[in-house]
């Protein structure tokens, strides 16, 4: 999997790309991450990436030219409107980060994990010239119903969510199959299909000490009866999902 991140703040990614699973995935060659400085694709002396909005209003908007040039230089060919459907084979996505985009979900991460390449366009200021969404990006994606000041954190969240789904990225292969939103969180508990109760969140986890400040661990987890543990986890996951995310059940 190759990730390209187009940004006006390339140094931003130095931290997030260098820890844990994402770092290891790069070290083992599972993932390649390239950060592209948008200003490198400007042609004027001031390396201008933004301009004032047509129609007036507050703030600045990222100009289309450097973004088109950046993506085209990564792809190695030009993007014309007519050829947009052929911009990419189905193995590449050009993802515009946008608070006004479609919501990113675990199922989006699963779909992206099948790709060979994702090019992220990180917006800033008031956002990005709409022609980027219409004629360059293959998808416009939001990571949640709130507004951030840039697309870098959102893009990084997607890089993380997708990387940990790649086979071999996690130390324990099973662990991405039995977690929140996997649709299989309930499989611990022997549930047969996700339709029955929707998607469950993860069950609560406990580790040592068995008693901490007077708060004990549920006895069934210490008892060693695997069937009972599975039953408890299923019920606890369901209870937690109902409490925290009634919309999922």
Residue ranges binding ligand SAH (CB under 6 A): 97-100, 122-124, 126-128, 142-144, 146-151, 154
Residue with Cβ nearer ligand SAH (140 or 169) = 140
Nearest-approach distance from CB 49 to ligand SAH, in angstroms:
12
118 vs 230, which CB is nearer to ligand SAH? Answer: 118
Instruction: Give the Cα separation of 143 and 220 in Å (integer).
Output: 37
Closest distance of CB 136 from ligand SAH, Å: 14
Least separation in angstroms between residue 69's CB and ligand SAH is 18
The DSSP secondary structure of the chain, one letter per residue, reads -EEEEEES-GGGGGTGGGSHHHHHHHHTTS-EEEEEEGGGG--STT---EEPPTT--SS-EE-HHHHHHHHHHHHTS---TTTGGGSS-TTEEEEEEEEEEEEP-HHHHHHHTT-SEEEEE--BTT-B-HHHHHHT-SEEEESSSS--SBSHHHHHHHHHHHHTTSTTSSSSGGGGTSSTTSS-GGGGGT---HHHH-PPPPPP---S-SEETTEEPPHHHHH--HHHHHHHHHHHHHHHHHHH-GGG-
Closest approach of Cβ 102 to ligand SAH, in Å? 10
Q: Which is nearer to ligand SAH, 7 or 182 (CB)?
A: 7
Closest of 67, 64, 60, 63 to residue 126, by C-alpha: 60
Q: Name the minimum Å distance from CB 56 to ligand SAH.
A: 15
Smallest distance, ligand SAH to C-beta of residue 155, A: 8
* Closest-approach residue to ligand SAH (CB): 123
Radius of gyration (C-alpha) of the chain in whole angstroms: 22
| Residue 111 or 125 with smaller CB distance to ligand SAH | 125
Q: Between 31 and 128, whose beta carbon lies closer to ligand SAH?
A: 128
Is the CB of 123 or the CB of 169 nearer to ligand SAH? 123
Provide, rounded to whole angstroms, the least separation between the CB of residue 59 and ligand SAH. 8
Closest CB to ligand SAH among residues 150, 198:
150
């Amino acid at each position: 999997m190759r990730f390209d991140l187009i940004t006006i703040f390339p140094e931003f990614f130095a931290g997030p790309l260098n820890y844990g699973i994402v770092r290891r995935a790069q070290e083992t060659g599972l993932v390649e991450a390239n950060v592209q400085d948008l200003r490198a694709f400007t042609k004027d002396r001031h390396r201008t990436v933004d301009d004032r909005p047509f129609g007036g209003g507050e703030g600045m908007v990222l100009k289309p030219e450097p973004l088109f040039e950046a993506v085209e230089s990564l792809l190695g060919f030009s993007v014309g409107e007519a050829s947009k459907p052929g911009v990419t084979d189905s193995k590449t996505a050009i993802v515009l980060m946008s608070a006004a985009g479609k919501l990113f979900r675990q199922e989006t991460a699963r779909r992206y994990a099948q790709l060979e390449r994702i090019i992220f366009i990180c917006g800033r200021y008031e956002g990005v010239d709409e022609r980027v969404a219409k004629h360059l990006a293959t998808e416009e994606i939001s990571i949640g119903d709130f507004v951030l000041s840039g697309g870098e954190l959102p893009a990084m969240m997607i890089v993380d969510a997708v990387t940990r789904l790649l086979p071999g990225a996690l130390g324990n292969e099973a662990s991405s199959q039995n977690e929140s939103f996997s649709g299989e969180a309930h499989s611990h508990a022997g549930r047969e299909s996700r339709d029955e109760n929707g998607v469950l969140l993860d069950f609560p986890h406990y580790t040592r000490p068995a008693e901490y400040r007077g708060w004990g661990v549920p006895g069934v987890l210490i008892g060693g009866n695997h069937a009972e543990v599975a039953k408890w986890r299923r019920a606890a996951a369901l209870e937690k999902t109902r409490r925290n995310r009634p919309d999922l059940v």
